[in-house]
Amino acid sequence: MALVVQGYTFLQQYAVSFVQNVPKKNQNALKMGVISTAQINAAAAIHPAETHPDVILYGIASRTLESAKTHAKKYKFQKAFGSYQELLDDTEVDFVYISTPNGQHYEWASKALKAGKHVLLEKPFTSNATEAKKLVEEADQAGKVLEEAFHWQFHPAAHKWRSIIDSGRYGQVIATDAKMTASPGVPHGDIRWQYDLAGGSAMDATYALNFTRYALRAKTPEKILSSVARPYNKDARVDAAMYTNALFKDGRNGNTVHSRIYTDLARSWVGGLIPRVWELPMIEVDCEKATIFFYNAMMPHLYHYIAVTGKATGKTEILKQYSGGPLWSNVQTTGGKGGSSLWSTYRYQMEAFVMKLKGKEPPCWVENEDSIQQMETIDEMYEMSGLGARLASKQR
């Protein structure tokens, strides 16, 4: 279950921070600014930056100076800012990590690009595809790096999983089934439930769609067959759950694949008594000769397995990959060749992001066009469900 996994990641990153030495920062290290004091910051950006010799924890901004100072002291940032704009106005900042609520992603990423900063932007990329296209255009005009933080795609386990599918050993892909749920559910009052902040399960649990598109090397769906929302009981404009059936074109061979995508921020308990904490984000890929199951695709650094079950034999092979793998094995990283088994998905992401900023070509990357296609698909899912695409900030 997503919230449980996030909680464990915070604990894991805290523990790893004691195991891994904080390296001496290089003379030309980049200065990172963090926009917002969201809970995810520590695992997603702060701890990865601590262990990277080319990143300095320079500044953190909040809506109040008091909050910013509290977080700056806790995480040893050099500066605290009482507004997001104040941080962007500081010419010392090289790049920003943005973890504001969904509905504010476009606004602050746009302002950061205009201020001459590179941007690592939390998912979902924006509120809708229109904003996504505008943001990418602005990044191109500014000549700055803009990256959607689909951190899971940077981990060796993701690369191992897709390499199995790509190998063709198990035949063509017939269907996929991806799920991401929360049980116990997201608490009432959380920003994920707020329509004005572009909340909803298809937005926050967008990983399920991303697993699917990544597995298939797919763009937007050929057709969405159905997309049915279970409305949030306190605001019918927001989806507590979304059930989608779509047809995607396999990017490897052009074949049509049927895909099921299920997201749920308030998954029912077993018998009304037991939360489904074992339901970690997952995807099953049904091929002609085998099923390829990736358990905990979202945060495989904590725990994961890839189960390949042959249809003819019924036998299952269990595979895992915590470092190296198809893309990182021959790469000399700041943690050694192939990275480190102690690295989280976020740390691998930070490694690739800094490589990009330093003018090197990282072994893996989330292209801006892919982020636009992700938002176009989410828009289509919402339109099909009858809820309508999430509105841009100026429309709300």
> Which residues have a catalytic role annotated?
123
Angle between helices 368-385 and 129-142 (to 10 degrees): 160
Transcribe 323-341 into DSSP letters: S-HHHHTT-EEBTEET--T
SS3 154: helix
Contact of 193 with 186, CB cutoff 8 Å: yes
Tokens 């996030």 map to which residue?
Answer: 6
What is the C-alpha R_g of the chain?
20
SS3 258: strand
Residues ≥6 apart with Cβ < 8 Å to 284: 176, 177, 178, 291, 292, 293, 294
Contact of 301 with 318, CB cutoff 8 Å: no
Considering only CA atoms, which of 139, 158, 133 is closest in space to residue 297? Answer: 158
Supply 31's token pair: 């200065």
Q: Where are the alpha helices (DSSP H) in the chain?
A: 2-19, 41, 47-50, 65-75, 84-89, 105-114, 129-142, 156-166, 201-204, 207-216, 325-328, 345-357, 368-385
**Dist CA 83 CA 63 (whole Å):** 5
The DSSP secondary-structure symbol of 12 reads H
Considering only CA atoms, which of 291, 27, 303, 298 is closest in space to residue 179? Answer: 298
